Copies of this chain bind each other. A is one copy, B any other.
Amino acid sequence: MTSKFLSALDSAMEQKGSMLCVGLDPATPEMRRDACVPQEYLSHPEGEAEGLLQFCKGIIGQTSQYACAFKTNLQYILPFSLGQMQELNGEVHKAGVQNILDVKLSDIGATNRASIHWAAKAGFDAITASPFAGNVEETAKYGRELGVGIIVLTLTSNPEAHFFMRDAQIGGLRGYEWIAGKVAQSGADGCVVGATGTTREEWMEIRKTIGEERVILVPGMGAQGGDGKAAVELGGKIIVNSSRETIYSPEPGKEAKRIRDTLNGLKKK
């Protein structure tokens, strides 16, 4: 289980001594008033999208020495042109870090191929994909062909995630068990598993199913209440995402360093 993405991620994790992934979610006040991009960026003379890009570049500059990856949510950068996405990724790669496009791809066939093609062209190293339509193997196959990592939503920690990911029974398996099995059978690069509410048994089961080489991306730290402790203590290839508590902090670099060190402390115990 090696891939272009997993190899590059390994190097970045080692080089930065970090399992921190910084979530680039450039929110405007219409989305969230309490934690959003400062007005000086929103009123950028070349337009709001350009302002959001400059904000992200600033965050990358301040945090990339403490992070192995960024996770950019497509829904926040919908107004970006291809050129703006390429500029964003140029900045990330200059810093020796990987960028995951959080698109939660839920399409099939040629449409998945379209998405992965544009993600590659924009310079993203991996994408997130949803297993809702099935097609995990097909998506993973396209990812391999186009050199883009595929990380599959497996057990997220939002309050209603349990319906399909935990309660649902598919052929005698719980949702997340079925998904982890599909990931293991395919060329996919890993799973998204939330920091909150996932039990130690569930963590162990998912890791055992997908093996040691695949990555587990853990969102939901900080603002969403999770602590990622159980995940990190378990070991294996894990990256932990922090978004708003880092990027809207008065000192994003200091905050990124603090979280990196906290995570490394957990690992050594």
A residues with a Cβ closer than 8 A to B are 25, 27-28, 30-32, 47-49, 73-76, 78-82, 84-85, 104-115, 117-119, 121-122, 130-135, 153, 156, 158-165, 167-171, 175, 178
Nearest chain B CB to A129 CB, angstrom units: 10
Once A160-B135, A161-B134 are accepted as A-B contacts, the answer to whether A81 and B78 lie under 8 Å apart by CB is no
How far does the alpha carbon of A31 sit from the alpha carbon of B246 in the complex, in Å? 37
* A130→B106 contact, CB < 8 A: yes
**Chain B contacts of A163 at CB under 8 A?**
131, 134, 170, 178
How far does the alpha carbon of A5 sit from the alpha carbon of B140 in the complex, in Å? 36
How far does the alpha carbon of A106 sit from the alpha carbon of B47 in the complex, in Å? 27
A-side binding surface: helix, strand, loop or mixed?
A: mixed
- Tell me which of B31, B107, B112, B119 contacts A114 (CB under 8 A): B31
Known contacts A78-B122, A109-B158, A132-B132; can you find 19 more A-B pairs with CB under 8 A? Answer: A27-B114, A28-B114, A31-B113, A31-B117, A32-B113, A48-B82, A49-B82, A73-B114, A76-B111, A78-B119, A79-B121, A104-B107, A130-B130, A132-B153, A133-B160, A133-B161, A133-B164, A163-B170, A164-B170
Once A104-B106, A130-B106, A170-B168 are accepted as A-B contacts, the answer to whether A75 and B158 lie under 8 Å apart by CB is no
